[in-house]
Amino acid sequence: MTKATLQHTGMCQFPVRHNNLVIGGIALSRLAQRVGSTPFYAYDRQLISNRVAELRQAMPADLKIHYAMKANPMPAVVQHMAGIVDGLDLASAGEMKVALDTPMHPENISLAGPGKRPQELSQAIAANITINIESFHELETIAQLSETTGIQAHVSVRINPAFELKASGMKMGGGPKQFGIDEEQLPAVLKRIKALNLDFNGFHIYSGSQNLSADAISESQQKSINLAISLAGHCPAPLKKLNIGGGFGIPYFPGDTALNIQQVGDTLAESMVPFKTEQPQADVIIELGRYLVGEAGIYVCQVIDKKISRGQTFLVANGGLHHHLAVSGNFGQVIRKNYPVAIGNKMAVTEKELVSIVGPLCTPLDILADKMELPVAEIGDFVVVYQSGAYGYTASPIQFLSHPVCTEILV
């Protein structure tokens, strides 16, 4: 493994052997042979396990760690995750099906999202999972379904807090939002829950995604805990669960620095003390998607053409934004920046050239890398996009331009 290669890509979670990136202990060229065709996504199960273990080390011992499935709902990944986390958080009945196929106990599964359809709610009630209520109307629908089916529903209230998560890539709380019920309306909603025959579990507060600032996350966690303390007097029953969200980010671009989870953990341990004193029976939960899987996955495609247009070299790949919208810069980014990219079978090649890597779609949006310095690549070489384990395949417009789908593997 050459130092220069690592500095070049900035990524070091995967080792390098004889010019090849190694994933799950297998050299990329060999792995591609095994898969049989490109493009594909590959996720490394050991890296996922390591990530969860490191997180547990840094967090308070009694904190529960949940996996938010929408980041990567591949069934094999969710199965693996079910064995190493304390719960699964879902955003649809489709995700619920995958979650219920795992050994995870329904008591540790919850469903969130605005606009849950009555059928989804009734499926969730029958499954005995916790539903995070996001509106007054939804509350009444749940109560009715619970009554007609004769199954008591387990509910938490998702709160849209008055505060915002600072420095976040995507804000999902604070101000007017479609998510959750405004903090100011909580006394009224809790009073209504008390009048209905529902099993009240607690609160869910999720403020945003892709945050690399330990200070901002800690501040939001502390405010969430204080909010729960201030509302405890209005609750119909003692709190069983307080889900304070997640939002832990991963570095994608030059200048991004990894989140300091030890700092987050230490501060959270302090913030939890007054809550644990008042509500010793309640579990405090964080729910993470991207942070647990994002760095463990790569997207792999192959160069199928190389051409020069007015002095600029283009590598045309057989994969693109239809499989990986985020790498093209069209998933939550304001200004497009290059994801870390490598030529996965030329990791130690020192001869470099400036190239743009584009996908096969007939649109100028289909860019994998814009004017990047990479080892000189030829037709057949493997283009690897790092940091692709979260919000990759299922967050992409797979049908756009009717190209072939791609494979996902867990190694």
Ligand X SMILES: *Cc1c(COP(=O)(O)O)cnc(C)c1O
Contacting range for ligand X; rule: CB under 6 A; set: 21-29, 67-75, 114-122, 138-146: 67-75
3-class SS of residue 317? strand
User: Should residue 71 be labelled a site residue for ligand X when binding is judged by CB under 6 A?
Assistant: yes
Considering the complex, state which of residue 210 and residue 345 has its C-beta at the smaller distance from ligand X: 210
Min separation Cβ 292 and ligand X, Å = 8
Q: Which is nearer to ligand X, 135 or 209 (CB)?
A: 209
Q: In the window 310-369, what residues touch ligand X (CB under 6 A)? A: none
CB of 408 to ligand X, least distance (A): 17
As a whole number of angstroms, the distance between CA 331 and CA 250 comes to: 15
In angstroms, what is the minimal distance from the CB of 126 to ligand X?
Answer: 22
Alpha-helical segments (H) within 101-162: 118-127, 136-149
Asked if omega into 103 is within 30° of 0 (cis), the reply is: no
The count of C-alpha atoms lying within 13 angstroms of the C-alpha of 159, restricted to the half-sphere facing its C-beta, is 28
Q: Which stretch binds ligand X (CB under 6 A): 30-38, 115-123, 216-224, 282-290?
A: 282-290
Quick check: 381 binds ligand X (CB under 6 A)?
no
Longest dimension (CA), the chain: 72
Give the C-alpha separation, 394 to 397, whole Å.
8
Whole-number minimum distance, CB 237 to ligand X, in Å? 23
Q: Judge whether 344 and 384 are in contact, CB under 8 Å.
A: yes
Nearest residue to ligand X, using CB?
289
Nearer to ligand X, 122 or 210 (CB): 210
- 124 sits near ligand X (criterion: CB under 6 A): no
End-to-end CA distance of the chain: 21
Of 68, 77, 242, 268, which one interacts with ligand X (CB under 6 A)? 68
Contacts of 279 (CB under 8 A, 6+ apart): 228, 229, 232, 238, 239, 242
CB of 1 to ligand X, least distance (A): 30
Q: Least distance to ligand X from the beta carbon of 153, Å?
A: 19
If you compute the radius of gyration of the chain from its CA atoms, what whole number of angstroms results?
Answer: 23
Distances from the Cα of 125 to the Cα of 110, 120, 295, angstroms: 11, 9, 34
What lies within 8 Å, CB to CB, of 97 at 6+ separation is: none
- What are the start-end ranges of the H helices in 371-410? none
- Please report whether residue 291 would count as binding ligand X according to CB under 6 A: yes
Helix, strand, coil percentages (3-state) for the chain, rounded to 5, are 35, 25, 40
Q: Closest approach of Cβ 225 to ligand X, in Å? A: 17
Question: Helix, strand or coil for residue 95?
Answer: helix
Judged by beta carbon, residue 249 or residue 319, the one nearer ligand X is 249
Residue 77 binds to ligand X (criterion: CB under 6 A): no
Q: Does 289 bind ligand X (CB under 6 A)?
A: yes
Our CB check for ligand X shows the closer of 289 and 359 to be 289
For residue 307, the minimal CB distance to ligand X (Å) is 37
Which residue of 247, 319, 340, 359 would you call a contact of ligand X, by CB under 6 A? 247
Which helix (H) or strand (E) is 201 found in, with range? Answer: strand 199-204
State CA 379 to chain mean position distance. Answer: 33
Nearer to ligand X, 287 or 408 (CB): 287
Among 25-33, 202-210, 328-336, 396-404, the segment contacting ligand X (CB under 6 A) = 202-210
The three-state (H, E, C) secondary structure of 168-228, written as one string: EEEECCCCCCCCCEEHHHHHHHHHHHHHCCCEEEEEECCCEEEECCHHHHHHHHHHHHHHH
Site for ligand X in 130-169 (CB under 6 A): none
User: Which one of 41, 200, 203, 206 is in contact with ligand X (CB under 6 A)?
Assistant: 206
What's the min distance (Å) between Cβ of 81 and ligand X? 13
Burial (CB < 10 A; 0-12, 13-18, 19+), residue 306, is middle
Backbone angles phi, psi at 132, to 5 degrees: -85, 110
Should residue 120 be labelled a site residue for ligand X when binding is judged by CB under 6 A?
A: no
Shortest spacing between CB 228 and ligand X, in angstroms: 16
Site residues (vs ligand X, CB under 6 A): 68, 70-71, 89, 91, 112, 206, 209-210, 246-247, 287-291, 390
